Amino acid sequence: VNVYNARLGANYTILDSKYYKLSAQQTTIPQGDITSAPVTINFTGLTELDIDASYLLPITIDQVSGGMSVLNGSKSICYIVRRSSAITTAVSLKNNYFEVPGFDAGSPTADVVNNIKQLTYEAIIRVNNFKTDEFPKKDIATIMGIEQYCLFRIGDAGFPLQQLQFSSPGENKFPNADTGKLLQPSEWYHVAVTYDTEAKTAAIYVDGKLQSTIEDYGTGEPINLGKQTRGKDFMFKIGHSYGEPEDMTRQLDGEICEVRIWNVIRSQEEIYKNMYDVDPQTTGLKAYWKFNEGKGDIAKDYTENGNDAKAYAKAIWPEGIEVTQKNKE
């Protein structure tokens, strides 16, 4: 460990032996073969480690026999073990979604998300299954928004099921289909979309990095997320967008947290810096559901507007959530 730290200018601590076990202390290359049976390392109890602390485990060929030797540069393999978790609570959206009663027509708090000329949506998501045997024809996983109006989702009819898409008023959809932009199952992502209705520009970010952008986009009209009067299918929802509540072909089969609505365009730097947490008093933040309750069916709105979100069905809060932090050098 000292040699490794000196060579790389690092300051790793050796991983305690209680967290790993070798399947064998020695192995043999049989005569006539060029490889031995593998020696595996079984790691256990890593959730006991301090979050964001890094540990080093060097595995070294200590001695060889039979007239063989080992190249010095290939003598050791070093494993870096780091429990990195910015967030440890999220809600499951499998067969469920959240509504915001405060955005309904007639609600006195709906105007806080109306007449939005600059919009930013943000969320942290993990999709466990994009398509299942239960819903073999599924082609959409909804993140948040309003169907056929202002919707942030993954997939669409005739569009890659694992690619982010934004749809603005007038069913203006972007970006174009691109199989190089697919999200992977079981991986945590921070996703964001910005839409300037007056400049007619939009951009999508993944983990704080620009993924897609477009100009001369949209109708130019401001966004009204509250007081929609076109019926239940066209209300703002988190994790569902259209159809009867029991129709879950458009839901997000995974977990979500850190859901935010802004009436300003967040810069790439701001998005990257505040992926995992943001001050609820930040200018332009109009709704902020952390989904850190860990129980119950209500997600608190952390802004002063108080538009709490309510689960359609009994909310499930999975244990063992560890959202990997990707913006810490």
What distance in Å separates the CA atoms of residue 256 and residue 192, rounded to the nearest whole number?
13
What distance in Å separates the CA atoms of residue 39 and residue 47, rounded to the nearest whole number?
24
pLDDT at 246: 58
pLDDT at 214: 97
The pLDDT-based confidence of 135 (bands split at 50, 70, 90) is low
Pairing of strands 91-92, 254-262: antiparallel
Angle CA 294–299–305, to nearest 5: 145
Scanning the structure block, which residue is given the tokens 């007639």? Answer: 106
Answer with the residue of higher pLDDT: 327 or 83: 327
Secondary structure class of 19 (helix, strand, coil): helix
pLDDT tens by residue, 202-228? 999 999 999 999 999 999 999 999 976
pLDDT tens by residue, 153-175? 999 988 999 999 999 998 899 99
Pairing of strands 209-214, 91-92: unpaired
- For the segment 274-291, the average pLDDT, to the nearest whole number, is 97
**Best CA proximity match to 202, nearest among 191, 190, 216:** 216
pLDDT tens by residue, 31-75? 899 888 999 999 988 878 876 788 999 999 988 887 778 887 788
Q: Which helix (H) or strand (E) holds 314?
A: none
Is 70 exceeded by the pLDDT of residue 276? yes
pLDDT tens by residue, 216-273? 999 999 999 997 656 666 789 999 887 665 566 788 999 999 999 999 999 999 999 9
Note if the pTM is more than 0.85: no
pLDDT at 209: 97
